[in-house]
Amino acid sequence: MSLAYEVLATDGAARRARLETAHGAVNTPVFMPVGTAGTVKAMTVEGVAATGAEILLGNTYHLMLRPGAEVVAKLGGLHRFMNWDKPILTDSGGFQVMSLSDRRKISEDGVEFASHIDGNLFKLTPERSVEIQHLLDADITMVLDECTAWPATEAEAAESMRRSMRWAARCKDAFIDRPGYGLFGIVQGSVHGELRRESAAALIDVGFDGYAVGGLAIGEGQEMMFRVLDETVPALPATCPRYMMGVGAPADIVGAVGRGIDMFDCVMPTRSGRTGKGFTRRGEINIRNARHAEDPRPLDADCKCPTCAGYGRAYLNHLFKAKEILGAMLLTTHNLHYYQDLTSGLRDAIEAGNYARFAAEFAAGQALGDIDPL
């Protein structure tokens, strides 16, 4: 294996670990802000680093369309291109091909699709996906997989999963092994536990640096998502990092950590920051609501982020009503700080053997709601 991974503490199934990459260490559990097109929206990389983020996610699909992987490589790789000197994980493009592009044609060889930008035709094979991620200089490369549609019959999920497993083996053959860089496999199988276990066994047989759980948080609901994790995670190696793709809501993260997941990514904190939703220790806030228009309090009295330190809810409410760009910047900054505080708190709790108490206090705080009078 080319990535060094060490479990430092456990509390039940929850794990506190460290992952060493070519561009630095990642402490887990970890949340990875999403830098889809080489940028975390409404943030500078300096601002992202100041939240405590240690790793970003980049997107193969978007970067292959523009400016192009070869262009990024010519300019020194994605780290230099976007001025981020810490680790980067790139997803394979499979999810975006399924969710964004038109005229998709899936075959054993790969997937042909039309760009959602200009309609130009592209073909993405397992080998090309790995090549693009190599050109981007991703510390962690993800295998190309087919994100099974939801809902899907068990037969449809089985066919999709087994194709993804064959693609995963081809990705492993195409990956150039080097110190500090790694390749993660992706477990598929929809909500069917037997298929999930079959997928995990196939990936372990090939051998990867880490194992992701894909194809969840796409409409199945939290209860079913957690059930799938309960059936899947025990089938994954305890000596490798586990990554739950596209998750998610704070409660999803807390619950998944308790089931043995180490790594997360989601557009939720940044997308919410651009649309007026803030995450706090007492639940979610819609800053556009009229009740915030004369409220001088910060979003979260216990938050140490620059937004909460310097700006009140009334000002944020004004910025969103006036459609000022600063509103999105300040709320995104807060949300990313909140997510990093959440995972930092989880790491501390696991080290202290207090995960269950942390989870209970988190749930109690969220249930209170933001209802205190001025």
Give the residue numbers annotated as catalytic, written as ranges: 91, 265
In degrees rounded to 5, what are phi and psi of residue 266?
-170, 150
Cβ atoms 334, 299 nearer than 8 A: yes
Distance of CA 325 to the CA centre of its chain: 25
Looking only at the bridges linking them, the beta strands covering 242-244 and 263-265 are: parallel
Cβ atoms 355, 257 nearer than 8 A: yes
Cβ atoms 293, 65 nearer than 8 A: no
Distance CA 215, CA 309 (A): 38
Selection from 252, 183, 185 nearest residue 218 by Cα: 252
How far apart, in Å, do the first and last CA atoms of the chain sit? Answer: 55
Distance CA 73, CA 63 (A): 11
Q: Is 242 exposed, middle or buried (0-12, 13-18, 19+ CB in 10 A)?
A: buried
Sheet hosting strand 14-21, strand order edge to edge? 4-11, 14-21, 24-28
Return the residue matching tokens 């500078």. 44
* Torsion angle of the four alpha carbons 130, 132, 135, 136, in this order, in degrees rounded to the nearest 10: -100
Cβ atoms 244, 184 nearer than 8 A: no
